[in-house]
Structure 1
Amino acid sequence: MKYYKIQIKSFYEDRIASRAEGENITNANEYFWAMDKGGILHNAPIFDYFVLESFDEEKYWEWALFDVHKFIGAGSQIPGWLISEKLKNLLENFKISNPHTFYESKLLYKEEKKDYYIFQFSGEQFFNTLVNYIDFNKSLFFDPNQKIDFRIIDIQDLIIQTRRIFKESGCEIINVPVKKLVLNNNIDFFSMQSFLGENIISERLKQAIEENNITGFQFFELDYKVVIE
């Protein structure tokens, strides 16, 4: 199966995509920092409400509403996205890397509250579980400093090699470049942003997003091979 890199689109010609700000939510920082650490919030309240903001002029903050938005301000620490109910329903029909969860939320847009969800798919405590989707013995990585391919043994080795490459590159290369990624599960959305710097999706999920006119994403070809075994 083919995979693509998935990102939220930040720019639209002469406009900046707005982001979700949660300063109006009661105890927002308490909840959002817990998510940042990878905590799953059981019996979480409805997060009521987010608003749209951007680095553009305020008059353009509500220029467009998308099915997915990044966070800004109170909420910027959330390891995930704010997504529409339409996108949530679509994702639930596909295999998403675990752990992940959805939190019911509200987004105030042009004086009307819309049903949205926080889609949490990463965080400090998610790391050990997410990397288990990777078969390190069969995957291949690249050292951009020494210009050689190499293998990583396990999670601890990944941490060591990431720090080494970061240091040897003069703090310019944050993540270990991938040459071949072997996964042990046929998943449609795999969050690697906390350890390899990006999120990837299957071709079938990409097609479903496009066919259902889900807005706010952009996709990129990968410069490495993904294999499912």
Structure 2
Amino acid sequence: MLFLFHSLKYFYGLLSYICNMKQLLFIILVLFCMPSIIGQETEKLGVKKDSVVDSKYREDQFYASVTYNLLGKKPNNVSQSGFSSGFHIGFIRDMPINKRRNIAIGIGLGLSTNSYNQNILISEENNTLNYELINSDVTFSKNKFTTYLIEIPIEFRWRTSTATEYDFWRIYTGIKLGYVVHNSSKFRGLPNDIKLSNIDNVNAIQYGLTLSAGYSNVNFHLYYALNSIFDNDTKLTDSGEIVDMTAFKIGLIFYIL
């Protein structure tokens, strides 16, 4: 598994170089517009969608998700502020395991970016990382850390779909494995801005439980981390308290094809 993550790291690096967030959102928009465009062109050609029944159909193989990211197990006096967002896209191979094809196993590959706005200032002095709570009298406009991951979602899938039914109920649950290929922290305030990248204390492997449920295009999505974002050596400089915060993400997920 680690070999796969390391191999994909180089692919993600190239993708990160050529894609910024606006381009990522554009890709998501194109993915969700394509089915509508194809459907319209099919109708223009006089072909009915129900005229051909695919007995080997698969469902929900591309996904895009937007989440609100919360932090669990926060040290004393640590709080979040603003909107901590997550953006996730990927492909899941749908593999039905029964004759009706409404129960399946899904294994996929995706990309994810997650930001966490909070009041722990990460700085570096003499090659030593410091984690300090920002005093209430300090003026700042931004303080966040961000992770960029390659992810492998594994799902057990149940739905009410048929070969000709395109709107259906679904409940998908499983586990998501992630490899952090890049991370960064940004502080914008007084007395000076601080930017760091590839912080050693961030756990390279992130994993957690997932649940997606809904009807048709509207589906709720939850992610509950099973390990901490930072390693066990990460402590607040002033109190010595371990920073073993975990991620909890709640949002919407959209499936196509």
Q: By the TM > 0.5 criterion, same fold?
A: no
**Between structures 1 and 2, the one with greater strand share:** 2
**Between structures 1 and 2, the one with greater helix share:** 1
Query: Shorter-chain TM-score category?
Result: under 0.3
The structure with the largest alpha-carbon Rg is: 2
TM-score by length of 1: 0.23
